[in-house]
A and B are shown apart, each in its own frame.
Chain A
Amino acid sequence: MVLKLNLRFIFAMGLYYGLYTITRGFSYVIASMSLPLTMLFLIGIISRGYLLKYAVIGGFISLISTNALSSAGDASFLRLELKFQDLLVTTRITRIDYMLGLMLSYLFFSLPGIVIYAVIGVVLNLFTAFRAFVLFLIMLSLLISETSLAFMIAGMMKHIRNVWGIVSILSIILSVIPPIFYPYTYLPKYVLYILSISPATPGSVIAQGVFGMQPFNYVMLIILIAETAFYFVLGMNFIKWRES
């Protein structure tokens, strides 16, 4: 089977639903940055700057995770309230095009936060070209895996109000408790592996290794790749497209 993507649609969704709406709905952008920026402030103060690196690198991961997970609410809203998804079902796009289009829009929507963290990272002299590239790949895989998770949740929901509650709980479980803002070595190994059910855990562990903050963990690299593929397939199958 050849995977044929509608790149025009994916780009149009990213551009119009993601990039252009930044200026029209800036409060949402601020809201998505509030958690990582608050953590940056708190961690910086409490650790007297010692863990600031973790807060900055964790901020990138948290920003993408928060945006990706909250897309469950967005995807449910588009499907249940606006019937926007129904409108697109009867076009030539597939469920994969739709998912990728929304993913790209969330990536674009995260850009202001990414820029802020990038500036802080440059000021703290955290980046090399290699580190920046790996961090980009980590963010990309988190975007794919966690948006897929979000689509899975959205596909199972019949009422929009249930989504907000579940997303709030999942945001804490999947993007606050994992070792995003603290060294992963603080955790007992078995806890680390339990937490690796959230793609943010292997993502953070790899980032901490690449940025020289902690030893590199190859097992987590395999887990992140496997989870990205696994959650993507799950999301693709759970997203409601032509309903039965």
Chain B
Amino acid sequence: MIEIYGLNKIYDNRVEALKKITAKISKKRTAIIGRNGAGKTTLIRILSTQLMPTSGYALINGLNILKDEEEIRKKVSCIPQEARPVGLLTPYEHILIYLTARGYSFKNASEEARKALKEVNLWENRNTPADELSGGMKRKLFVAMALASNAELVFLDEPTTGLDPLSRLEVWTAIKGLGSDLVLTTHYMEEAQSLADELIFMENGTIIKQGTAEEVLSEFKGKVRIESRKPVDNWKKAGGLYIKYVDSEEAHEYVKMGYDVKQITLEDLFFKYGVEIES
């Protein structure tokens, strides 16, 4: 359980990355969704004790991020955004270094490394220098590190950004193998729905919506999205389109007028709140 109370972060360049966020994360698997600059990474870095907030605090399973960092670090594992393996080290060595840093003995670290590498299908490449691994394998290595840590709570910051669809699927499978509670950030709706029970939508340093996919879309119940490529007065501009939400019974009127009618998806949250997002 993560409890967040008035978390605020202002960087040296005066950018306010988090604007007094208050929230509770109680589901086993949570995805934080938002575009670049929404504040996802700042939030994860603060919760995992990499970064101090400007004000406010959070509790991780009852432990305060401001006072109990040593205890929290025993329980969490965090894979940073854009983390890359050290080119000359092998996957096996990466895990051993990471686990000794987490207090494991060499014997236990070696055993956990073996299990985790097998779990993510990297065992065959355990002695290959990381420079020679594919992009997907490199990301799977980080998932293996989180897996081997046996942490109570794992933070994954954009674990599949930049990967091709097949590699993404491989990484998803590896993530699904994690037994820990999970908080991940992503640009991808599909990824969030596939990996998480609860979704948190962030924009401009605030949380705009939180809940299951069904809950966050409840405001769109019984509605469809009408799209136009040409400007239409009083319609909202989003993602290069002009859109409007109407009751599904009215949809046929718009079809007659030549507009496209689309079913509601999670992306509509961003359309509604004026944000473009990759799909």
Contact = CB atoms under 8 A, between A and B. Distances in A.
Partners in one complex: yes
Interface of A: 6, 8-9, 11-13, 16-17, 20-21, 24-25, 78, 81-84, 86-93, 97, 242-244
Given A90-B48, A90-B50, A82 B84 contact: yes
B81 interface: yes
B232 interface: no
A78 B85 CA distance: 9
Contacts of B100: 6, 8-9, 11-12
Interface stretch (B102-110, B213-221, B234-242): B102-110
Interface of B: 45, 48-52, 69-70, 73-74, 76-86, 88-89, 93, 96-98, 100-106, 129, 145
A9 B83 contact: no
Main secondary structure of the interface of A (DSSP, over half): helix
A12 B98 CA distance: 9
A65 B17 CA distance: 41
A97 B79 CA distance: 20
Contacts of B106: 8, 12
Given A90-B76, A90-B78, A91-B102, A16 B84 contact: no
B80 A86 contact: yes
Contact of B101 (A21, A78, A88): A88
Nearest to B104: A8
A17 B45 CA distance: 26
A6 to B, nearest CB: 7
A242 B83 contact: no
B78 to A, nearest CB: 4
A91 to B, nearest CB: 4
Contacts of B78: 86-87, 90
Contacts of A86: 45, 50, 78, 80, 83
Given A24-B88, A242-B69, A83 B97 contact: no
A21 B69 CA distance: 33
Most B CB atoms within 10 A — which of A12, A82, A86, A87? Answer: A87
Given A6-B103, A21-B88, A24-B129, A16 B49 contact: no
28 contacts: A8-B100, A8-B103, A9-B97, A13-B97, A17-B86, A20-B93, A21-B89, A24-B88, A25-B88, A82-B83, A82-B86, A83-B84, A84-B86, A86-B78, A86-B83, A87-B145, A89-B50, A90-B48, A91-B73, A91-B101, A91-B102, A92-B74, A92-B101, A93-B101, A242-B49, A243-B52, A244-B51, A244-B52
Contacts of B83: 82-84, 86-87
Contacts of B96: 12, 16
B133 to A, nearest CB: 14
B98 A91 contact: yes
A17 B105 CA distance: 18
Contacts of A244: 51-52
B77 A90 contact: yes
Most A CB atoms within 10 A — which of B49, B73, B97, B104? Answer: B97
Contacts of A78: 86
Nearest to B131: A24
B51 A242 contact: yes
A2 to B, nearest CB: 14
Nearest to B47: A90
Nearest to B96: A12
Nearest to A244: B52
A232 B85 CA distance: 28
Contacts of A13: 97
B252 to A, nearest CB: 52
B89 A90 contact: no
A83 to B, nearest CB: 4
B277 to A, nearest CB: 24
Most A CB atoms within 10 A — which of B70, B79, B88? Answer: B88
Contacts of B76: 90
Contact of A87 (B51, B52, B80, B93): B80
**Closest 5 CB pairs between A and B?**
A91-B101, A83-B83, A83-B80, A86-B80, A21-B88
Given A87-B83, A97-B101, A242-B52, 19 more contacts: A8-B103, A9-B97, A9-B101, A12-B101, A13-B97, A24-B88, A25-B88, A83-B82, A83-B83, A87-B78, A87-B79, A87-B80, A88-B101, A89-B49, A90-B48, A90-B76, A92-B101, A243-B51, A244-B51
